């Protein structure tokens, strides 16, 4: 009987490791999740304010000739309003990318066994390459979604480790995408366990009025980085005592 593959995802082990690390560094790890929540809240308030300033409402009354009438109100926004709305969305997108890179960078530092502080989860490593990687993955995925959705889902699956590889291995965006593709192709089952559980953790956080993301985002990142290191044979810091 061939020996068992040591580089396989163990969901229980990975989640237990992530939870233990989170409990030991709660103060540092909740900050990026809190920043995500604040960023989304500010963006929502700015969007509402923008609509109130630049939006116009028009009410049309319809009658049937029998005394029965009803009204339909439509809202439109000026060109300036749409430009400001687009800028708000762009800032949110860049902000989310920055915080996502920060959380993953912090998780990688934890996996390295480094002592972490607030800045560990708020200052990303290689943010420029991360942006390029995210844009390229987004373009490939968008093309796939345009081809009847399923190709887009396949692209997302095979390129799932691209950002992590960009940060952890200091790869170029293209090389990181290649590394993700090769790893996912060689270990599809384990790769699926890695992404689906990380996704589920964040879904639970989002269900709790998004406030749960303050906790779920760093735990999901820690879990995911543990899976990445396990699949690639990279070093993983010893788990913290329960």
22-63 pLDDT, tens digit each: 998 888 888 887 887 788 788 888 878 777 777 666 666 655
Label residues 92-112 b or e (16+ Cβ within 10 Å = b): beebbbbbbbbbbbbbbbbbe
- 210 belongs to a structural domain: yes
Q: Please give the model's pTM, rounded to 2 decimal places.
A: 0.83
Give residues with Cβ within 8 angstroms of 212, minimum separation 6: 204, 205, 206
Whether 18 is covered by a domain: the verdict is yes
Q: In the chain, what's the furthest Cα-to-Cα distance?
A: 85
H or E element, residue 75: strand 69-77
> pLDDT at residue 75 above 70?
no
- Our count of domains for the chain comes to 1
pLDDT in tens, 132-155: 999 999 999 999 989 888 988 999
Residue 70 lies in a domain: no
Residue 165 domain-assigned?
Answer: yes
Return the number of other C-beta atoms located less than 10 Å from residue 159's C-beta: 23
Is residue 161 a part of any domain in this protein?
Answer: yes
How do residues 151-210 score in pLDDT, each as one tens digit? Answer: 889 999 999 999 999 999 999 999 999 999 999 999 999 999 999 999 999 888 878 766
Alpha carbon distance 138, 141 (integer Å): 5
C-beta of residue 76 within 8 angstroms of C-beta of residue 56: yes
More confident residue, 112 or 3: 112
Residues of the domain holding 186:
11-54+77-232
The answer to whether 166 and 137 are in contact (CB under 8 A) is no
């Amino acid at each position: 009987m061939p020996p068992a593959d040591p580089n396989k995802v163990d969901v229980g082990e990975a989640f237990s490791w992530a939870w233990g690390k989170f409990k030991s560094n709660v103060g540092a790890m909740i900050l990026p999740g809190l920043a995500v929540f604040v960023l989304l809240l500010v963006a929502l308030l700015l969007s509402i304010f923008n609509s109130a300033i630049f939006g116009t409402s028009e009410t049309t009354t319809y009658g049937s000739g029998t005394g029965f009438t009803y009204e339909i109100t439509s809202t439109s926004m000026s060109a300036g309003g749409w430009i400001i709305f687009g800028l708000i969305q762009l800032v949110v997108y860049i902000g989310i990318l920055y915080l996502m890179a920060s959380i993953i960078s912090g998780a990688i530092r934890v996996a390295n066994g480094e002592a972490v502080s607030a800045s560990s989860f708020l200052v990303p490593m290689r943010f420029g390459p991360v942006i390029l990687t995210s844009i390229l993955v987004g373009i490939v995925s968008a093309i796939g979604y345009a081809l009847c959705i399923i190709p887009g889902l396949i692209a997302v699956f095979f390129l799932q480790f691209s950002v992590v590889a960009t940060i952890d291995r200091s790869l170029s965006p293209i090389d990181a995408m290649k590394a993700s593709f090769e790893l996912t192709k060689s270990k599809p089952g384990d790769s699926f366990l890695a992404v689906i559980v990380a996704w589920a953790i964040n879904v639970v956080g989002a269900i709790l009025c998004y406030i749960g993301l303050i906790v779920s985002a760093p735990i999901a990142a820690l879990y995911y980085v543990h899976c990445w290191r396990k699949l690639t044979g990279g070093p993983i810091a010893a788990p913290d005592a329960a």
